[in-house]
A = this chain, B = another copy of it.
């Protein structure tokens, strides 16, 4: 098998490696001048994501600079609502704006029938990447998880506390108001989307549940754990060998339940998760990925060295993938990423 030589896949299968594999969330993106240059070639951000020439190039750019063990498809989580027929626009300096879905009627108007047609350019991007990335690099596909997609779809924009989505979710846990149907539609769409990514060459998958942390435990169970478990089940039925990483950001103590109950192969940790707990509670259950504070990478210098070393000391003795706790910040100096790679890679050689 070809994948057996990819350290990223080996780590996700539970192997403990001398040097942990390493990639960064948003490793392709605005901190790179070459990205800002190609980004200007498309006015609309979703159009950029739907243009294979540009999305392939954006995905490959960081691989030319750094020796990452994985490349993640360049795309956006909001292609799913877009593909379901909800209007999505990215406004300069304002983030995404969607026509909000707020009722059973709104949910009924969403339509999964054209999903694969709509997402065909993403599949083409993946298939081109599969044949162009280095042999030892793993190609990661991804999707937003249902709860996080729902926060944007219901709120209509980014938010601090998602009042519309959370109140609808609460009533939707007890009566038939349409919210459960929305999540169920998203479980279908995300499962199909991820399977198609694998069919086109993705070798591992990550589910981003960026806003999982705002939910109370009962709501986390209903709208994060249950939908994720169902997606994992469906993807594994079609593709038993493809490892899946979950990222319920901000889940705190609930990371443990998430790992135990969803069947993910790996869990990505935000920077608030203490290393001793991750090592003693989570690592016996699955591979952990994380969790350098993106501000430490931005700060660089001794802060970055110390934090990185602490993470390696605590977690590299178990199944582990080095990453950030959240996406790389646009202001990050690219040379800090190079130095980070040296710390991670150099460590084993100097011991």
Q: Which residues of A contact B (CB under 8 A)?
A: 160, 163, 166-167, 170-171, 173-175, 213-220, 250-254, 257, 271-275, 277, 291-293, 295-296, 298-299, 301-303, 306-307, 310, 325, 329, 331
In the complex formed, the residue of B with least CB distance to A174 is B302
A292 / chain B contacts, CB cutoff of 8 Å: 216
A254 / chain B contacts, CB cutoff of 8 Å: 272, 274
Also in contact, A170 and B295, with CB within 8 A (given A216-B307, A307-B216, A329-B163): yes
Chain B nearest Cβ from A60, distance in angstroms: 28
CB-based contact A170/B296 at 8 Å: yes
| Alpha-carbon gap, A273 to B220, bound state (A) | 11
| Alpha-carbon gap, A329 to B331, bound state (A) | 34
Chain B nearest Cβ from A131, distance in angstroms: 37
A274 / chain B contacts, CB cutoff of 8 Å: 217, 253-254, 257
A174 / chain B contacts, CB cutoff of 8 Å: 301-303, 306
| Alpha-carbon gap, A292 to B217, bound state (A) | 10
A325 / chain B contacts, CB cutoff of 8 Å: 216
Offer 10 A-B interface pairs, CB within 8 angstroms, sorted by A. A160-B160, A173-B303, A174-B301, A174-B306, A216-B271, A216-B291, A218-B307, A253-B272, A253-B273, A253-B277
In the complex, besides A171-B303, A216-B271, 4 extra interface pairs with C-beta distance below 8 angstroms are A167-B299, A216-B296, A217-B272, A254-B274
A257 / chain B contacts, CB cutoff of 8 Å: 274
A215 / chain B contacts, CB cutoff of 8 Å: 271-272, 293
| Alpha-carbon gap, A298 to B168, bound state (A) | 11
| Alpha-carbon gap, A173 to B251, bound state (A) | 27
| Alpha-carbon gap, A217 to B252, bound state (A) | 12
CB-based contact A298/B167 at 8 Å: yes
CB-based contact B217/A275 at 8 Å: yes
A166 / chain B contacts, CB cutoff of 8 Å: 293, 295
Chain B nearest Cβ from A96, distance in angstroms: 15
Also in contact, A219 and B293, with CB within 8 A (given A250-B213, A298-B163): yes
A218 / chain B contacts, CB cutoff of 8 Å: 306-307, 310
